[in-house]
Structure 1
Amino acid sequence: MSEKIKILFVDDHQLIIEGILSYLKDIDGLEITSTNSCDEAFNLVKSHLNTDPYQILFTDLSFDNASDNSNIDGGENLIKALQKENVPIKIGVITGHSETNRVYNVVRNLNPLAYILKGKCNTTELNFAIQKMLADQVYYTHEIHEKLLKRALIEIQMDDVAVQILKELPKHSKISNMEGIITKSDGNLVKIRAIESKLAKLRTDLDANNNTDLVLKAKELGILD
């Protein structure tokens, strides 16, 4: 590469920074800056816009070191702040957060070009992600990609009756108590046999061991709050 690719890496844990930097240093053509402050990261990006700008920003999502004095208290708000001002920088996430609902919301609302799991990444993956980002292409760690596919599949399969059942399930000690509560789109009540059949299908679709596990899986996937 004839010119250095300027990358800013943001994480609140110094050991994580050092670990990621140890992978990045083995990739030719990079100029890397790091900080553990979202406020500093935002200021660095803005201050370099007109002179030698950063091309890529990698950030964690959660920052335990944020205080009441912090203007930007986490990676999601850092991304929002940069996007609000239309800052021309390619943004990726490197984080330990792999909860399906969190991943889904970050990808849907913030559209990062990369979503990589710290602790599982290496030089090869980071290099591949950087090249994809430079080409304005998306790269998600395999585990993240699988979670997003599953979430999309479940969303397609989920109808109003299924959502009603999942919301009512934690409120009742017996499935039979739900009869007379669940309604179809035409207003007709769903019979208990149909409720039990739908529950069986939901357990299969969400790979749940029982109804309690089903509710937990639905919450993880963001189907339930």
Structure 2
Amino acid sequence: MQLDRIFVSEDIDSNNLGVTTTLQNMGYAQIGHSQYCDDALLKLKKALNDGTPYDLLITDLSFENPRAKKNIQNGQELVTAIKAIQPTLKVVVFSVEDDHHTITTLFSDQQIDAYVCKGLNGLSELQKSIKAITNHEQYTCPIATAVLQQKNVLALDGYEQQLLAYLAKGYTQHEISALLKEQDISPNSVRSIEANISKLKDYFNATNTTHLVYVASSLGLI
């Protein structure tokens, strides 16, 4: 599908600039924005009434701003409000929150199309989410995917947690092999370590070792 007009609802200037710059680099020129949920809803409504509706909303969940009187308190309420009048609007939630219930509810109740966690690779993941939406697909970043698939976290054994800990400290596979041999921990061959790290990457949908460490750290595993 074609996404021509995109609206960004984000209260922090630096984040707003980062998202806007990312969108511009992707070739999008018609970008609206607001730092307040109430104002965002008004602008989205006006665009709809003017016959120039936005195709995609990118919104944070939490908004810490100085306005005392707010009808809409957060991004989740904003999505609910705009979906009531423009149900076809595509939505990407871009947030630091990684709570299982929140993410699940946003997909089931608010019918969002993508959830991306801020942080390392956040903006690149945002690009992936937009590309997925243009292909009529839903998207969750690796952290959100891992949160939604709690069985992956619960299935980790002591050996796998130890591997993650060593990776987080920057050890190479050969160094990890030597450390495991010193502690008489098996399997400890470089090949087996490589295979287990590959399995962990699949668990958490991580593209590389750095990404794997970040996801595992975000989930409190290391």
Whether TM exceeds 0.5 here: the answer is yes
Q: Please name the residue that 1:132 is paired with.
A: 132
Stretch deviating more after TM superposition (9-18 or 85-94): 85-94
Measured at CA, do residues 123 and 144 of structure 1 come closer, stay the same or move farther in structure 2, by a change above 3 Å?
Answer: closer
Could you tell which deviates more after superposition, 118-127 or 13-22?
A: 118-127
TM-score, normalization: structure 1? 0.60
Is 2:64 the counterpart of 1:61?
no
Q: Distance in 2 between matches of 1:119 and 1:152?
A: 21
Q: Decide whether the 8 Å contact of 1:10 with 1:41 is kept in 2.
A: yes
What are the superposed Cα offsets for residues 75-103 of structure 1, whole Å, 9 maximum, x if unpaired? 01001111222443111100111123332
- The percentage of aligned residue pairs carrying the same residue is 23
Provide structure 2 residue ranges, at least 5 long, that are not aligned to the other structure.
155-218
- 8 Å Cα contact 1:113-1:138 kept in structure 2: yes
Change (3 A) 1:121 1:57: farther
Report the Cα offset of residue 26 of structure 1: 1.0
How many pairs align? 154
Report deviation, 1:151.
6.5
Aligned to 1:71: 71
1:115 CA displacement: 0.3
Q: Does 1:14 align with 2:19?
A: no
Contact 2:10 2:16 in 1 (8 A): yes
Contact 2:3 2:55 in 1 (8 A): no
Report which stretch shifted further, 107-116 or 96-105: 96-105
Q: Is 1:101 the counterpart of 2:92 in the alignment?
A: no
1:110 to 2:126 alignment = no
Q: CA deviation at 1:112?
A: 1.1
Partner of 1:34: 33
What is the SS of the residue equivalent to 1:41?
Answer: helix
When the two chains are superposed, the root-mean-square deviation of aligned CA atoms in Å is: 2.7
Unaligned 5+ segments in structure 1 are 155-219, 221-225
Paired position in structure 1 for 2:119 = 119
> 1: CA distance between counterparts of 2:22 and 2:40?
21
TM-score (norm 2): 0.61
User: CA, structure 1 residues 132+16, in 2 after alignment: closer, same or farther (shift >3 Å)?
Assistant: same
